[in-house]
Amino acid sequence: MKRLINIFFNDNIKSLEAFIKTKELFEKRGFEVSETFKEEAELSICIGGDGAFLRGVHNSDFPKVPFVGINTGTLGFFQEISFDKIEKFIDDYIDGKYIVEKIRLLECTLKTNDIIFSNKCLNDFVIKSNSSEIIHLDVYIDDNHLETFAGDGLIISTPSGSTAYNMSAGGSIMYPTLRGFQLTPLAPIFSKVYRTISNSLVIPDTSTLKIVPLENQHKKISFVADGIEKDYTDVSYFEFKKSRFKLYKLVFNENWYWINMKDKFL
């Protein structure tokens, strides 16, 4: 049987060009290429920016098949391979010149009056008001009440997601292999009535973070998982903890994270 590769790509010209080139080069080396996820594949390639990478991961339901990204977007923090290095990437892949990085995921259990279900994220979860009004949230860590938050919302980010929305909101950058996650406030209110921690808070991944909305039970709350937004009413709580699942990502340069950090942000 031929070795199988999954390739997902954005709906733009540059991504299509990268897909055609990558597909052609892999097929010349004896591989079979699928444009949809197949769990028997040995690798999944996401072509585009970080959004394409996140969509590919979510649409595949965080499989054990490793991922790698080819960047045709703007930032592309997950996308290590540039368009002009596709041939070298394929040669290095076939020669085994890479390491497999295990990225820890974060899981959220959401309970309403009617349902209870879990979501996983690679980057972050966000809780915010569905309207322009402030949101009130009780925050607990390991069943210890930390604060009653009032403001625009809260970001709960993984180490790998710390350079995304979290960083834009003033959160800290965490190296992807660090064991923990981060709670970052969005426009918190400070007054005689409300007191909240204004900085991001790093929580060990052995802990559980629970957030209880204090709003009218029928008021809509927006819940965002890696940019995928849905509205819920009658929310009882959100509970966040380390997921037992991991994402497997190929890395071809062991210094890639720091190179990427300087290239993208400095």
Active site residues: 50
Cα gap 72→108, rounded to integer Å: 31
CB atoms under 10 Å from CB of 36, counted, come to 9
What one-character DSSP code corresponds to residue 173? Answer: P
Spatial CB neighbours of 98, under 8 Å, sequence gap ≥ 6: 92, 250, 251, 252
Spatial CB neighbours of 26, under 8 Å, sequence gap ≥ 6: 5, 33, 90
C-alpha pair distances (Å), 130 with each of 46, 133, 163, 233:
31, 8, 25, 10
Q: Under the phi-then-psi rule, with left for phi > 0, alpha for psi from -120 to 50, and beta for the rest, what region is 251?
A: beta
CB atoms under 10 Å from CB of 226, counted, come to 25
Binding residues for NAD(+): 50-51, 55, 123-124, 152, 163-168, 187
